[in-house]
Amino acid sequence: MIPPGKTIGVLGGGQLGRMFSHAATRLGYRVHVYEPAAKCPAGEVSAREVNAPYTDTETLSAFVAGCDVVTYEFENIPVEPLWKIEKLVQLHPHWSVLETAQNRLREKNWLRKNEFPHVPFAEVEIDGDLAAAIRKIGLPCVVKTADFGYDGKGQLKVTDEPSLAKAVSAFQGQRAVVEKFIDFKCECSVIVARSSTGEVKSFPVAENIHTKHILDFTIVPARIAPETQAAARELAEAIAARVELVGLLAVELFVQDDGKLLVNEMAPRPHNSGHWTQDGCVTSQFEQHVRAVCGLPLGDVSLTAPASVMVNILGDAWKWDGDTLVGDPDWAAILGTPGAHLHLYGKAEPRRARKMGHFNLTGPDANATLESARALKARL
Ligand code: AMP
């Protein structure tokens, strides 16, 4: 066990690291942040910030020498430097979980090999025949780059011959995955924590609504049958056990009309769809992450309100005249609403589609709270 008072190192300095740092410092830990870009959101609220590339193993080794345990908040960290630092300090989750999750092909092959339900897919090598893979899966399908994709970046839906030709020219010379297009009932996610002692707890299932491939709303409780919710949590817990997770893992799922679940993606870190826990759950996902990597007892995952909705605040919420920024969102709308909680990430410059913050709204039931959250978002 790494008790309060010790130092936790975080690789990655974005908003997830910032909120992790808030939770860790509240429990009495010191947080050191390692992030390539200066003046990062996490560094601003932590005891120490080191800016250097992840591949600078000398600086990274010196950084971890000052930490009692190290975790990460960013998925696209190269794993090679982690091989060296795992010999110097406790690193959670293990780098192999990150390696599997950061590449769609490795992730899907891992799901297939371990017999977890997943979207049917075909693999395309760098010099492979993408058109043949598309024909094998059938239309409609989704073509995705194998590496470093998130928020819908690096993917194209193929519905007909013209879009097939477009995909072939866009993905020429890249490793890719072709997935069957799933006409799902809804998208859900489960965040599961497993501690170094082997204790496992999953948060209640969250329902996610995306707009332009970016998470827009998270709704809890998810509006799916209780037995589907139980199955989703069981599935996430089984995956966490199989990878011998220490830390947090988010499992994104497609829910089909018959209640069948398919795993879309996994991320071994706090997740945007878990932000509701800050105001709607006894323990937040960030505190749970701290507890898991430090070997503390995991926290209670009971709801503190009948329903919660999280709304992402993108740079689009600022007032723009063409490309010129002319004003801030109306923060008073959120701050003056009972049950609403504002979380901003301290990013200097709003940009369209950039995640700047979020708000959580608690309420009497999922539908009514979602309706109120939509109205509040419109007032921003
Ligand atoms: P991803 O980057 O893989 O998480 O994809 C982003 C979003 O695109 C998902 O949250 C879905 O809304 C949608 N999407 C991705 N893959 C598929 C698929 N195979 N079928 C239907 N929708 C998909």
Q: What is the pLDDT along the chain (380 residues), one digit of tens a residue?
A: 999 999 999 999 999 999 999 999 999 999 999 999 999 999 999 999 999 999 999 999 999 999 999 999 999 999 999 999 999 999 999 999 999 999 999 999 999 999 999 999 999 998 889 999 999 999 999 999 987 655 566 889 999 999 999 999 988 888 999 999 999 999 999 999 999 899 999 999 999 999 999 999 999 999 999 999 999 999 999 999 999 999 999 999 999 999 999 999 999 999 999 999 999 999 999 999 999 999 999 999 999 999 999 999 999 999 999 999 999 999 999 999 999 999 999 998 999 999 999 999 999 999 999 999 999 999 99
Atom of ligand 1 nearest to the CA of 182: 20
For ligand 1, the distance from its centroid to the CA atom of residue 152, given in whole angstroms, is 7
Determine the pLDDT at residue 127.
86
Burial of 315 (0-12, 13-18, 19+ CB in 10 A): middle
Q: Is the CB of 221 under 6 A from ligand 1?
A: no
Atom of ligand 1 nearest to the CA of 179: 19
Determine the pLDDT at residue 164.
94
For ligand 1, the distance from its centroid to the CA atom of residue 101, given in whole angstroms, is 15
Residue environment code for 262-281, b if the CB has 16+ CB neighbours within 10 A, otherwise e: bbbbbbbbbbbbbbbbbbbb
25-29 long-range contacts (CB < 8 A, ≥24 apart) are: 26/287, 27/287, 27/290, 28/4, 29/4, 29/5, 29/290, 29/294
Match domain 7-91 to its CATH number in 1.10.10.60, 3.30.420.10, 3.60.20.10, 3.40.50.20: 3.40.50.20
Bridge partners of 208?
187, 218
For ligand 1, the distance from its centroid to the CA atom of residue 83, given in whole angstroms, is 31
Atom of ligand 1 nearest to the CA of 265: 4
Q: How many CB atoms lie within 10 A of CB 114?
A: 12
Atom of ligand 1 nearest to the CA of 153: 2
Determine the pLDDT at residue 241.
97
Q: Is the CB of 352 under 6 A from ligand 1?
A: no
**Quick one: how many helices (H) and strands (E) in the chain?**
12, 20
What angle, 0 to 180 degrees and rounded to 10, lies between the N-to-C axes of helices 15-26 and 285-294?
70
Ligand 1: residue of 150, 213, 264 to mutate (most ligand atoms within 8 A of CB) is: 264
Q: What architecture does CATH give domain 120-180?
A: 2-Layer Sandwich (3.30)
Domain assignments of the chain as residue spans, ordered by start: 7-91, 120-180, 186-379
Determine the pLDDT at residue 151.
57
Q: Is the CB of 119 under 6 A from ligand 1?
A: yes
Nearest protein CA to atom 18 of ligand 1, as residue: 181
Determine the pLDDT at residue 254.
98
Determine the pLDDT at residue 148.
63
Six-digit token string for 239? 């995956």
Write down the H helix ranges in the chain: 15-26, 57-65, 80-85, 95-101, 104-113, 130-137, 161-170, 226-242, 277-280, 285-294, 331-335, 366-379
How wide is the angle at C-alpha 257 spanned by C-alphas 262 and 123, nearest 5°? 30
Determine the pLDDT at residue 154.
82
Q: Which residues, 6+ apart, have CB-to-CB distance to 204 below 8 Å?
A: 220, 221, 222, 229, 233, 281, 301, 303
Q: What is the CATH number assigned to the segment(s) 186-379?
A: 3.30.470.20
Determine the pLDDT at residue 152.
60
Q: What's the pTM value of the predicted model, to 2 decimals? A: 0.96
For ligand 1, the distance from its centroid to the CA atom of residue 128, given in whole angstroms, is 23
